[in-house]
Every structure is written in C-alpha cells, then in structure tokens.
Structure 1
Amino acid sequence: MSIELRHLRCFLAIAEESSLTRAAARLHLTQPAVSRTLAALEQHLGIRLVDRSTHHLALTSEGLAFRDRAATALAAFDAAVDPAGLRRRPLRLGHAWSAFGPYTTPLLRRWQREHPGTPLELLRVDDRTAGLARGEVDAALLRGTVEAPGLVTEELATEPRVAALPSDHPLAARSRLALGDLVGETVVLNTVSGATTLALWPAAARPAATLTVANTDDWLTAIAAGRGVGVSSASTAALHPYPGVAYRPLPDAPPLPVVLAWRDAFPHPATEALAALAREIVAETGTAP
C-alpha cells in the first residue's frame, strides 16, 4: 500500500474533530470507511496514531508529530496545484498575538508598496508557532524561544515585559512592579500560544497558583474578572487595551525576543524579502518600547 492524499485528509479530519463520526460527516464518508482508512495508514507507518482506549478519542505522541507533518504536506500540495496561487501566490504571515508590535503597520504598508505582486496576508493563529508548523502559514512572527523541528528563526527585536492586573488590584496603584510582587498571586498562563511560563521566576520563588487559558482573549478576560494576574510583552499593552485590565512595567523581567520564523524546507520565495524589510524597519525605528 502507498500513502495517498486521502489518507492524510482523513487523518487530519479525525485529529481536528476528535471523533470518527464527526470526521466521517465532514468528509462525506461512512464511519467504517474512515476507520479502515485510518487503520491502513497506521499499518503502513507501523505506529499507532490514535488512542482509542479512552472515552474521548485522542492522538498519541506519534500522532501529534505526524499531524504537523501531514498538515504541512497537504498545505504544500494544495498550494502547488492552486491555479490562482500559481499566478499570484500570497505570503501568509502568522502571529499568535500583537503581530509585529509597533512595526506592524509600517511593515504592511511598505510591503504593499514595494511588493505589489505578492499580497501579504496577516493571520492570527492561536498556536505556539502561529500555524507555521502545521503548514497554515508561510512565515510567522513569534515571541520567546521557539523550539520546533524544521523551522528557521531570526531575532528581529526585543520587547520589555509588563504585568497585567485587574484595574482594581492593590498592585495596580504602583507605577512599576517586580516579578517578586506577583509570587503570591494566581498567574494566568496562555499555554497554547503564550510565551510566559513559570520558568520566568527563580526556581525558589515561583507563583504557587496558576490558571491556564488557550488564547489572548481568554487571558484578558480572566484578568479583568479578577481571577489572576499575567505577564506579557509591552506590545500587548499597546495593542490590546482591555476594560478592567491595567498594565505595569516589569523592569527586572528579561526582555522578550520577537522572531521571524519560517520552514527550512520549501520556504515561500518572498521569505527573504520579508525578513530584509522587517530588519530594515526595526533598524530605522529602533527597538520596540
């Protein structure tokens, strides 16, 4: 047996729907047909991709790794055979939050002016690599350390960190804070796309309580509701003002790197031009405040 695109599409539908029944409905197939396709794929690979032993279908560790590769392969194939893309292939630039901070508008405007033949599409994807590892975008603006196989990264700038507090919190009365001021608080962590972890604090003095969320919107909502405090970059404060949330500088926290990332294999032809323009804009404007 050889792997065909239908096997990849079937597996990705299962991965995204977390259900054989919903995957079958999405693909307009019967559930037995979906089960047979998955079984054939697993037999060919010699690994178990889906754990069927739990009440809710879940991917195995091998399945999680294969999901990213399958998505990248399918995205590359679809882009290759798309007639519109062959004529005018856009450059899809992902981000999880705050895009390129204060450089976002200059980047978009100058790209449109200097590269009119290649549309630049800015896409928010709530994922640690902003959809890059899954093939949803061609390049991504990310923050913090990025550890994903097959990606090339270039640090473009750094951003100071800020604390985010409920506006009526006693600490909000101060003009600036230290990491130690937050140790006794519940810290809200965006574990899907965020760059803040407990490792930001010294091992001997870390917050004991955390609340996990899946995206920036839920992070802001939790803080405004008084469920905890958070740490993010200065661009979050500038681009995401939110009722009930106060931002305060954290001078003792290490700055957060802002990086441009792209896939090492088969990068978009305009990737180097994007990196060069991003570097130029940062050099002209200076480090983000």
Structure 2
Amino acid sequence: MTESDLPEAAQPHTHDPEEEDQFAVGYVPGVMPGKWFRRWEERHHKPVLSQQQLRADGWREALTNGDIKACFVRLDWEEQDPSLEELRQNFRAVALYEELQVAVLDQDHILTVAESLTTDELNAESSPQQKPATDDAGMAVELTAAGVGPVILPMSLARLHHRKDVTYRQLTDAPTIPVALVWPQDLSEEDEATVQQFVGIVRGRSANSGRDTPPSKEQESKKKKQPQKQQPKAPQRRGGKGPKGAKAASASKNARRRRPR
C-alpha cells in the first residue's frame, strides 16, 4: 500500500440512513485490528461492524464528527500525538499494547548482518532520515530503498510499507510506541454500550462471558414486569402461636405419653 492509497482526511459528517445501523470503527495506518473485527462478526453482534482506515491526522475529526464510534490510534509517535493521560482529558481510551521501533535499511546496507541494533550502532554506520509522520512513512521507505538512508518506524508501519529492496532490524534501546482504542466521551447510552461490548472483545473477554452479551431491551422489560417472589410463611405449631402455644403443645404431648394403657 502506498501513501496515495490512504483515504483523505475525514470530511464533515453527513448522515446516511444505512450508516445508522452500523458500528463504524476506524484505525490508523499500520494498526491491524482484523482479529477483533472477525470476533465481532463471528459472535453475530449487532449492529454490523463497519471498519474504516483513516489518515493518522484525521482520526480526531472523524470521532468528533461522528463518522466513527471508536478508533485504534498510535500515541507518542508524532510531535502532536498526546500521551494516554492527555488523551483522556477529551476522550475515553484504553491502552492495548506497545509497538517496537525498528530501523528500515536497504538490502545492501552493512548493518543487515546484525539481527538487532542499538541506536548508537545505527548512527555510527549511517545517517538516518528525520522521523517521518505516519502518513509519510511510505515515502520515507521509498527513500531508504533509493539509498538516502535508514528510517526509524514502528514495526507495524515497516511491515505495512515492506518492499523487496528493504529490510528492518529491531532497535533494542528505543522506547515502545503505545496503541490505544479511543472513543468520544459524549456517546449515547446505546452507542456507549456497543463500544463497551467491543472493548470486551479487544480485552479478550470470551464469548461465554455474561458481560459479553448484555440482555436485550425485551429481556430487561420482562425482568422488570416479573412480580417479586414472596417469602414462604413459617409453618404454625399446634397449640397456637408464640411461646404459650408451644408450651401447651409440649404439655399435651407429655400427658399422652403418661396416660396408662
């Protein structure tokens, strides 16, 4: 996939009646949420999930406009990327996993003999390109293939833009890059419930979990209409209620025992 294949930045949202019955989830380039999308479909959850790849500079607008209900985003990569704590000031978010950073090298580079590299080793043998924005990663890999120099990328972006004339090596001392699932704070109650159901799948909740399949509105309505069960009354002892009745019954029983035959 090249840079031109990426969708344009999100446009102002227009409501389509067919979209109202869909659960639209976005993801930025390189992030691969396909296994979670498949699990949603395999469990026959409603509404139908619609997946959308977005430009990395367009996910905020897409969430704000309502084009999507949730999005997989990469944090702390570009200068404008928020940390998870900063993100939660305006959105809801859950951290998912950490991506490794790699150095993308042309196939003839001397450092390809190593299985992994440190940042110092990379800088000692080459002059890496300036760190590119996510949406410019494809062009940076092309420049690497042309001999301009290595480029450091999250591993998922290196895999997305892989070419036969380049390879990559893990940077063992580079910090990891977090990936999170993000959604607006002001979703409707119904949409929030749908997102929470999807969060359960992403976090590995099984299909048999009671939390994975919330009760339908019809089930909740029936539950509310059912009368409360009354506690069974305690059986009454012969001889009346209370201590006096109990004593009378005991005395009568003893008298029968002493009655001569």
Q: TM above 0.5, one fold?
A: yes
Structure 1 residues 91, 181: CA separation in 2 closer, same or farther (over 3 Å shift)? farther
In the TM superposition, what are the counterparts of 1:119-268 in structure 2 within 5 Å?
Answer: 119-128=48-57, 130=59, 132-133=62-63, 135=65, 136-145=67-76, 146-147=81-82, 150-183=90-123, 184-191=126-133, 194=134, 214-266=135-187, 268=191
Q: Report the CA distance between 1:188 and its aligned residue.
A: 4.3
Q: Secondary structure at the match of 2:55?
A: coil
**What amino acid does structure 2 have at the position aligned with 1:231?**
I
Contact 2:74 2:178 in 1 (8 A): yes
TM superposition score normalised by structure 2: 0.60
Cα distance in structure 1, aligned partners of 2:47 and 2:63? 22
Q: Secondary structure at the match of 1:190?
A: coil
1:87-143 Cα deviation digits (max 9, x unpaired): x1x22222222223xxx3321211112244322222222224535455343221112
**What amino acid does structure 1 have at the position aligned with 2:201?**
L
Count of paired positions: 183
Aligned CA RMSD, in angstroms, stands at 3.0
List, as ranges, runs of 4+ consecutive aligned residues in structure 1 with deviation greater than 6 Å.
none
TM superposition score normalised by structure 1: 0.54
Cα distance in structure 1, aligned partners of 2:68 and 2:163? 28
Contact 2:63 2:69 in 1 (8 A): no
How much identity, in percent, do the aligned residues show?
22
**What amino acid does structure 2 have at the position aligned with 1:143?**
R
Structure 1 residues 137, 248: CA separation in 2 closer, same or farther (over 3 Å shift)? same
Q: Secondary structure at the match of 1:215?
A: helix
Q: Report the CA distance between 1:277 and its aligned residue.
A: 0.8
**What amino acid does structure 2 have at the position aligned with 1:111?**
W
Contact 1:94 1:124 in 2 (8 A): yes
Q: Secondary structure at the match of 1:110?
A: helix
Unpaired runs of 5+ in structure 1? 1-66, 195-213, 283-289
Q: Report the CA distance between 1:247 and its aligned residue.
A: 0.9
Asked which structure has the greater CA Rg, the reply is 2
Contact 1:154 1:259 in 2 (8 A): yes
Q: Secondary structure at the match of 2:18?
A: helix
1:37-91 Cα deviation digits (max 9, x unpaired): xxxxxxxxxxxxxxxxxxxxxxxxxxxxxx99xx6xx52xx33xx32234x1x22
Structure 1 residues 226, 263: CA separation in 2 closer, same or farther (over 3 Å shift)? farther
Contact 1:143 1:256 in 2 (8 A): yes
Unpaired runs of 5+ in structure 2? 1-8, 207-261
Cα distance in structure 2, aligned partners of 1:94 and 1:152? 15
Structure 1 residues 144, 109: CA separation in 2 closer, same or farther (over 3 Å shift)? same
Which of 176, 179, 197 is matched with 1:273 structurally? Answer: 197
What is the match of residue 214 of structure 2?
none
What is the match of residue 210 of structure 2?
none
What is the match of residue 107 of structure 1?
36
What is the match of residue 7 of structure 1?
none
Contact 2:102 2:155 in 1 (8 A): yes
Q: Secondary structure at the match of 2:94?
A: strand
**What amino acid does structure 1 have at the position aligned with 2:170?**
P
Cα distance in structure 1, aligned partners of 2:34 and 2:130? 29
Cα distance in structure 2, aligned partners of 1:266 and 1:177? 45
